[in-house]
Amino acid sequence: EAQVTQNPRYLITVTGKKLTVTCSQNMNHEYMSWYRQDPGLGLRQIYYSMNVEVTDKGDVPEGYKVSRKEKRNFPLILESPSPNQTSLYFCASSPIRLAGLPNSYEQYFGPGTRLTVT
Amino acid sequence: GENVEQHPSTLSVQEGDSAVIKCTYSDSASNYFPWYKQELGKGPQLIIDIRSNVGEKKDQRIAVTLNKTAKHFSLHITETQPEDSAVYFCAAHGNILTGGGNKLTFGTGTQLKVEL
């Protein structure tokens, strides 16, 4: 089954304790991205990756790190979590498509990770 | 960068009525506009999309319209059913050929409630 998986689904941690949220996709997609979802703010992009070893900042990258050593995996790292990083996090993937082709840029989302930092 | 505004933030309709959600975008070069549905406890899922060279697209009870001149697009759901209750997000995709990157910018979401 084609899917994006995230682990853990729920995490409660304390300020300053490093954590990693894993993301894996089995669709051989080049593009992967992390979003955070907060009430009234919608989905905001944290980091994205166009391919292995190619990552770039999204709209809200402060306090986060990512890596893309393999095509299927795109972990999100919080080196020193703070309470303002309490949020619902989503990983997504999509194939890279060129403009002009009659295809969509559909992104496939994981089930989400609910993070609470106290 | 791109800015997407979405209205209303909440919408309550009676079963069988129609629902309309509206979005505006700022970057005239954006060329792809998807709509995602997020059910409780799940990730968003694509329900319909439209490219900039098309004015309207329909898929059963769901339709999307795009006005490039005014830079706004809308989601129309007819004959609403209780299972349509969810959060809906609009988004705009940058134009790779003009440097917009492979990036989706999302609206802030609309909580749709279909009441019996």
Question: Which residues in chain B are closer than 8 Å to A102, comparing Cβ atoms?
Answer: 51
Instruction: Tell me whether residues B103 and A31 touch, CB distance under 8 A.
Output: no
Rounded to the nearest angstrom, the minimum Cα separation between A82 and chain B is 23
What would the pLDDT profile of B65-93 be if each residue is shown by its tens digit?
A: 999 999 999 999 999 999 999 999 999 98
Rounded to the nearest angstrom, the minimum Cα separation between A22 and chain B is 15
**Residue A102: pLDDT above 50?**
no
Rounded to the nearest angstrom, the minimum Cα separation between B95 and chain A is 7
- DSSP for A62-101, please give it: TT-EE--SSSSB--EEESS--GGG-EEEEEEEE----TTS
For β-strands A108-109 and A10-13, DSSP reports them as unpaired
In angstroms, the CA A65 to CA B56 distance is: 40
Question: Which residues in chain B are closer than 8 Å to A94, comparing Cβ atoms?
Answer: 102
Taking residue A39's Cβ as centre, other Cβ atoms within 10 Å add up to 10
What would the pLDDT profile of A11-44 be if each residue is shown by its tens digit?
A: 999 999 999 999 999 999 988 999 999 999 999 9
